[in-house]
Structure formats: structure tokens, C-alpha cells
Amino acid sequence: MKKFLNYFWQQIKFFLINPFWLSLWSIGLILIILLLNGWVWFLWIKKYQDLIGLMPISYAAAVGALNIFLANLAYRKESLVSFILLGAAILIQIIYLIFLKFFAMSQAF
């Protein structure tokens, strides 16, 4: 059990103490992801809750969180890959904002 807890602690330490969190580019991209994700949730709560189900909105949030997690893991070996992952998360949030507006206008759901 002690070996398992030691391994678990090392993984948490590797995730939190990482040069990824010190890079201004990665912090800026994460803030953009969080702002866009907040905007998606705000629009869903205020305008489109009756028209669109929760599943696509929660999927966008989960993909954003997963890309932030994977970008953190990949940063030490390949920093370019981590920026590509963060850029993909931003692109997904933007696509969801566009489709949220168009699908709500056409009432396709």
C-alpha cells in the first residue's frame, strides 16, 4: 500500500510541479479555453437550455479539460504537441459556439 501511495504522490507531484504551468503561452491558452467554455455554458443556461440537451455542452467541457491534462503531460518531451492540443481545445470551443447558435436558430434539436 505504501508503494502505491508513493507512486500516486509522485504522479501528482509530476503533474503539479511542471514547467508547463510556468509558460505564459500555455497559461494564456488555458485562460482562453476557460473563457470560451464559460461562454458556451452561459449561453446554454440563459438562452438555449430548452432547445439543446446537456450532452453536447458537457462534451465540449470534457474535451477541453482532457486536452489541458494531456498538454500538461506532453509538455516536458514535446512542447509543440502541448500547444497543438491546447489549440485544438480552443478550436472545439469555437466550433461549439458557432454550432450552438446555428442549431438553436434552426431548432434542429
Q: Give the integer Cα–Cα distance in Å for 83 and 20.
A: 10
78 in a structural domain = yes
24 in a structural domain = yes
Q: Which three cell numbers stand for residue 88?
A: 485544438
1-22 tens-digit pLDDT: 888 889 889 888 888 888 888 8
Q: Give the integer Cα–Cα distance in Å for 15 and 46.
A: 35
Q: Give the integer Cα–Cα distance in Å for 98 and 43.
A: 11
- Which residue range is the domain that position 27 belongs to? 19-106
18-73 tens-digit pLDDT: 888 888 888 898 999 989 988 888 888 887 777 777 787 888 888 888 888 888 88
Number of domains in the chain: 1
10 in a structural domain = no
Amino acid symbol at 60? A
Q: Would you tell me the crossing angle of helices 24-43 and 79-106 to the nearest 10 degrees?
A: 20
50 in a structural domain = yes
5 in a structural domain = no
What is the pLDDT, as a whole number, of residue 109? 52
64 in a structural domain = yes
Model confidence, pTM: 0.78
